[in-house]
Amino acid sequence: MKKTMLFATVLLQFFLFAGCVVEPSESVDQDRIFTNYELFYDKNENKTYAKVTFRFGNALGTLLQLGGTSEVKFNNDRLDYQSLGFYEKVYPGLVTAGTFAFKDAKGTVYTNATPTMRAVDFPNTNLSVPRNASFTLNFTGEPLAAGENVGVLIGTELFLQINANTNSVNLSSNQLAKLNPGPYAAVMDRYRISDISQKPSAGGAVTVKYRTGNKNIQITN
């Protein structure tokens, strides 16, 4: 349940970026900066995104923009500020791991290595899923390790697998029944959300996420 809530929080933060007030980081207590790091590979684009969001107090606090001598880097590359309130650098191809370094306005440096990202993929077959019964969707790649999760998004429905030593996601009949029959481009993410060792007292987290190529799925009656 904790992992499910963490994943939901990450999704919520994505939708909260637009329209949020952004404050300069040097105007707040540096020990109250919450740091959220993410390393995300999208196979559809064959690009890896190193991304950092700073908030005041907690994961849903006011967005912060670094000022003064503050900076954030990934593998020693400086991340650029984006208009939606986060810092990012885009790399071609797959980057499975790396190290983030954040220097605050007082000159304190927090360094955190990411876990290693692991691949996932849909089965290499045509998928036709009936909406009136549960369906076991097998995925390729190593079985889930403790702390790893797989999420499959079909239309508006998100299906989660949070149990270790598994290679499948249960598509429940209750959720499938909410989808109209027809074709869908399904999205599959394999991700791990972990605590970080070096952080201000407000805390922080690091996410590594691998998104495989979208898969055409037919939902049938």
**pLDDT per residue rounded down to tens, the chain (221 residues):** 444 444 444 444 544 444 568 999 999 999 999 999 999 999 999 999 999 999 999 999 999 999 999 999 999 999 999 999 999 999 999 999 999 999 999 999 999 999 999 999 999 999 999 999 999 999 999 999 999 999 999 999 999 999 999 999 999 999 999 999 999 999 999 999 999 999 999 999 999 999 999 999 999 99
Q: Per the structure, how many domains does the chain have? A: 2
State the Cα–Cα distance between residues 63 and 72, nearest whole angstrom. 15
State the Cα–Cα distance between residues 184 and 171, nearest whole angstrom. 14
Are 58 and 143 in the same domain? no
Are 63 and 155 in the same domain? no
pLDDT of residue 138: 98
Are 143 and 63 in the same domain? no
Buried b (16+ CB within 10 A) or exposed e, 128-144: ebebeeebebebeeeeb
Which of 163, 167, 135 has its CA nearest to residue 154? 135
Are 93 and 32 in the same domain? yes
> Model pTM greater than 0.85?
yes
Q: Residue 101 has which token pair?
A: 């370094």
Are 38 and 83 in the same domain? yes
pLDDT of residue 21: 86
pLDDT of residue 20: 64
Are 94 and 164 in the same domain? no
Q: Residue 34 is part of which domain span?
A: 2-116+193-211
